[in-house]
Amino acid sequence: MDTSSFLIQQLINAIFLGSIFSLIALGYTMVYGIIQLINFAHGEMFTAGAFAGLIVLAGLQKVGFVDSHFIISMVLVFGLGMAYVAVLGVSIEQVAYKPLRNASRLAAILSALGMSIFLSNGMMLSQGVSDRGFPNALGWEGLKIMDAKISYGQVFIIILAFALMYGLWIFVTSTKLGKAMRATAQNKPMARMLGINVDKTIRVTFMIGPGLGAAAGIMVGMYYGSVRFDMGFIYMIKAFAAAILGGIGSIPGAMLGGMIIGFVEVGWSAFLPSEWKDVTTFVVMILVLYLKPSGLLGQSATEEKV
Amino acid sequence: MKKIGIFVLCIAVIACFSGIATAKTLKIGTMSPLTGPYAQDGTYILQGVKTAVKAFEASGGLPGYDKIEILAEDSACDGGKATMAANKLINSDVSAIIGCYCSSATLPSSIPVDEAGIVMLTPASTNEKITERGFKKFFRLPPRDDVQGWSAVKFMENSLKAKTVALIDDRQTYTVGLVDNIKRFAKETGKLEFVAHEHITPGDKDFTAILTSLKRLNPDVIYMSIYQPEGSLMARQVKQLEITSTLVTEDACFQPKFTEVGGAATEGIYLTFAAPVADNPVRSDFVKAYSKDWGVGENEIGSFSFFAYDAAMLVLEGVKKAGVEKLAETIRASKSLGATGEITFDEKGDRALAHAVWIVKDGAFVPYYNPLTDTMY
């Protein structure tokens, strides 16, 4: 393997990893942006999505539908998985966060932590403690760029991740609901005064954020081939770092942060001793926060301004 | 009326306690990871012990005891949690402890057990340091990691004729200890050159960056000193990246989940594990009982269930023979046939077991190479 194929391969690895971190980070940043809450249960939403996707995919695989109708089954797997987690997200918001919306922020964070433990244990009890294999729907074949290889599965996942992020961007910038979301994030009382249904906007946020996390969960399960009830933890930490790095509350910031974390992780293990990989990720985060406390693309004043 | 009710309740409570006091119970503690990434292995161990107790009770039970109770604790593959679990079991007056899975949990948690003078048997921890500390009441069922490291080196040198090797570990006691052994034995002959030594984080899913670096180095062998969850994923990514190096791994990957999750990517991977045991009645009885108890196929039994079953049987037979007081002496002097072959212990509490190299063939583990005789199976 010559140096240029090596670099191309590592670039593919980094983009792949980065796009998954970005998708998860978006969930953090959207929820934080709108109600200033770190949703610690987000990692569990990611895992729940992976399990939902696994159940749908395994069912479709059993009747042989995946081989005959690949696209429709992918739409079903991602659609149902994301829909399930969107409903889960809204219910969690109603049960655990809405009653605490006017309480101290610490109470809401504790509620989020509790929810995270509750969901994680729930999945442990319902789905078992061990790894569950994911049906190999994506196959092993792929494209060759010199000596570097990108599998069709990776191509599919990267395209889907970018499509979801682009879709979100369009939604937030050019739809009425997206505008309401930004207004609610900036200033809740003012938004309410102008006739925006704040509760509804928050609910929509709690559908989209976890929904994107679920998509990432399905992607991880599908590509790496296994899911386990506690797999959300390590992704949660890294995506959280990505969201903070990019500036929590900022949607492009989360996308950028996720990519940076992906590139740092891959770049470090590619050229330097791999045992320092995780340390580096967080050192980069600390450095960025030291130089720019609000994150790369964050605004310094996310507090309510009235 | 209310007072009478309370009085009746008190009587009932006292009756309950005195009932427990008169019934003589043999308590056996188990420590294995029941949560976290290695929960599958921990469950295999617990199920092996439960099957042993059930089979033992069915064949007559313990004279002088009303029942045998298993106190299952979660060691979570973590030294701190395992030590807490050990103290809890000591305070519950267990007669013997079977555990843990991870060497990193067994090393610290066996210290309070030894101080309390309780017999401990590990069905899975293979780091050689565990039995090098002179504990008088500690026994190990599986073969040690210096045996495993030596076998892996002989296999890579003599059978694979490898020149260059890349090592991967996950910085835990067991995986690092094994890699150290491999380096030590390879140094003696000097035939192997280690071109890379990479480390992963347990729980990670993506190893493509490290594997791409190894693909560029193109070593003859990639030796994965990691546990099953990461092992399955790494095997898949090796196939995905079309790396041509031969994969060699170890006993932590030697369990049904490895091939189930890894799928086609695990075909042709070599593993070191205890040498195959000739079929004996104890083994076939265990296989039947286990698959019936837990509703699994006969080839879906975790590899460490066998050792856990033997450990529990040693305790039960030992207590039956000479009581709890002399359990350690009884086990040390015993010579018995178990599901994992002939069981005798040396001074340190180790068995004289050899390793073999196995290969994954059609999703099953098949014996492949005998490093002791340098022959194929």
Helix (H) or strand (E) holding B29: strand B25-32
Q: What is the pLDDT of residue A60?
A: 93
User: Based on the domain organization, do B231 and B362 belong to the same domain?
Assistant: yes
Cβ–Cβ < 8 Å for B188, B218: no
A246, β-bridge pairs: none
Q: What is the pLDDT of residue B288?
A: 95
Task: Please name which of A218, A241, A243, A242 lies closest in space to residue A231, comparing C-alpha atoms.
Answer: A218
Q: Is B363 on the interface with A (CB under 8 A)?
A: no
Residue B350 lies in a domain: no
| A-B contacts (CB, under 8 Å) | 101
Name which of B209, B232, B240 is nearest A151 (Cβ-Cβ): B240
Inter-chain touch A224–B233, beta carbons under 8 Å: yes
* DSSP class of B273: E
User: Based on the domain organization, do B232 and B371 belong to the same domain?
Assistant: yes
Name which of A130, A220, A265 is nearest B39 (Cβ-Cβ): A130
User: Based on the domain organization, do B372 and B234 belong to the same domain?
Assistant: yes
Q: What is the overall mean pLDDT for chain A?
A: 91
C-alpha dist (Å) from residue A240 to A26, A38, A131, A275, B150: 9, 9, 24, 21, 43
Query: Taking CB atoms and an 8 Å cutoff, what residues of chain B touch A278?
Result: 201
Contacts of B373 (CB under 8 A, 6+ apart): none
The number of distinct structural domains making up chain B is 2
Calculate mean pLDDT across residues A243-269: 93
Name which of B201, B206, B215 is nearest A1 (Cβ-Cβ): B215
Name which of A16, A136, A274 is nearest B198 (Cβ-Cβ): A274
User: Based on the domain organization, do B361 and B213 belong to the same domain?
Assistant: yes
Cβ–Cβ < 8 Å for B297, B326: no
Q: What is the pLDDT of residue A275?
A: 76
Calculate mean pLDDT across residues A155-161: 95
Contacts of B166 (CB under 8 A, 6+ apart): B194, B195, B196, B197, B198, B214, B217, B219, B221, B222, B223, B245
What DSSP letter does each residue of A232-271 carry, written as one string? HHHHHHHHHHHHHHH-TT-HHHHHHHHHHHHHHHHHHHHH
Q: What is the pLDDT of residue B169?
A: 94
Which of the residues B200, B227, B240 would you substitute to probe the A interface, choosing the one with the greatest number of A C-beta atoms within 10 Å? B240
Query: Taking CB atoms and an 8 Å cutoff, what residues of chain A touch B216?
Result: 1, 6
Q: What is the pLDDT of residue A282?
A: 85
Write B133-136 long-range contacts (CB < 8 A, 24+): B134/B348, B135/B110, B135/B349, B136/B328
Inter-chain touch A136–B257, beta carbons under 8 Å: no
Q: What is the pLDDT of residue A305?
A: 37
Distance from CA of A223 to the nearest CA of B (A): 9
Q: What is the pLDDT of residue A281?
A: 83
Query: Taking CB atoms and an 8 Å cutoff, what residues of chain A touch B37?
Result: 228, 230
Cβ–Cβ < 8 Å for A28, A239: yes
Which residues of chain A are at the B interface, by a Cβ-Cβ cutoff of 8 Å? 1, 6, 9-10, 13-14, 16-17, 124, 129-133, 136, 140, 142, 149, 151, 220, 224-226, 228, 230-231, 233-234, 265-270, 273-275, 277-278
Calculate mean pLDDT across residues A6-35: 94
Task: Please name which of A72, A73, A39, A41 lies closest in space to residue A56, comparing C-alpha atoms.
Answer: A73
Say which CATH number the domain at B333 has.
3.40.50.2300
Query: What interface predicted TM-score (ipTM) does this complex get?
Result: 0.89
Contacts of B306 (CB under 8 A, 6+ apart): B48, B283, B286, B339, B340
**Is the bond into B102 cis (omega within 30 degrees of 0)?**
no
Query: Taking CB atoms and an 8 Å cutoff, what residues of chain A touch B39?
Result: 129-130
Inter-chain touch B261–A226, beta carbons under 8 Å: yes
Inter-chain touch A130–B205, beta carbons under 8 Å: no
A146-155, A224-233, A277-286: least confidently modelled range: A277-286
User: Based on the domain organization, do B186 and B295 belong to the same domain?
Assistant: no
Q: Is B239 on the interface with A (CB under 8 A)?
A: yes
Task: Please name which of A151, A150, A124 lies closest in space to residue A138, comparing C-alpha atoms.
Answer: A151
Task: Please name which of A61, A54, A43, A62 lies closest in space to residue A80, comparing C-alpha atoms.
Answer: A54
Q: Express the helix, strand and coil content of chain B in percent, nearest 5 each.
A: 50, 20, 30
Cβ–Cβ < 8 Å for B265, A226: no
pLDDT tens for B63-87 read 889 999 999 999 999 999 999 999 9
Inter-chain touch B212–A17, beta carbons under 8 Å: no
Helix (H) or strand (E) holding A7: helix A3-35
Residue B174 lies in a domain: yes
Query: Taking CB atoms and an 8 Å cutoff, what residues of chain B touch A226?
Result: 229, 232-233, 261
Residue B270 lies in a domain: yes
Inter-chain touch A16–B208, beta carbons under 8 Å: yes
Which pTM value belongs to this model?
0.90
Q: Is B208 on the interface with A (CB under 8 A)?
A: yes
Cβ–Cβ < 8 Å for A120, A230: yes
**Three-state secondary-structure class, residue B66:** coil
Residue B1 lies in a domain: no
Cβ–Cβ < 8 Å for B232, B37: no
Q: Express the helix, strand and coil content of chain A in percent, nearest 5 each.
A: 75, 5, 20
Q: What is the overall mean pLDDT for chain B?
A: 92
- Give residue B301's domain range: 8-142+278-345
Q: What is the pLDDT of residue B11?
A: 57
- Alpha-carbon span B195 to B217, nearest angstrom: 8
Cβ–Cβ < 8 Å for A229, A235: no
Which of the residues A130, A136, A147, A265 would you substitute to probe the B interface, choosing the one with the greatest number of B C-beta atoms within 10 Å? A130
Q: What is the pLDDT of residue B3?
A: 62
Which of the residues A3, A4, A13 would you substitute to probe the B interface, choosing the one with the greatest number of B C-beta atoms within 10 Å? A13
pLDDT tens for A59-112 read 999 888 888 888 999 999 999 999 999 999 999 999 999 999 888 888 999 999
Residue B263 lies in a domain: yes
CB within 8 Å of chain A, chain B residues 15-74: 34-37, 39-40, 43
pLDDT tens for A194-205 read 999 999 999 999
User: Based on the domain organization, do B234 and B366 belong to the same domain?
Assistant: yes
Cβ–Cβ < 8 Å for B268, B244: no
User: Based on the domain organization, do B250 and B339 belong to the same domain?
Assistant: no
Distance from CA of A219 to the nearest CA of B (A): 12
Q: Is B195 on the interface with A (CB under 8 A)?
A: no
Mean pLDDT in consecutive groups of 10 residues from the start of chain B, 377 residues: 58 53 83 90 95 94 91 94 96 95 96 96 96 95 96 96 96 95 95 94 90 94 96 94 95 93 94 93 95 91 94 96 93 94 94 95 95 93
User: Based on the domain organization, do B362 and B335 belong to the same domain?
Assistant: no
Residue A120, amino acid: S
What DSSP letter does each residue of A145-194 carry, written as one string? ETTEEEEHHHHHHHHHHHHHHHHHHHHHHHSHHHHHHHHHHH-HHHHHHT
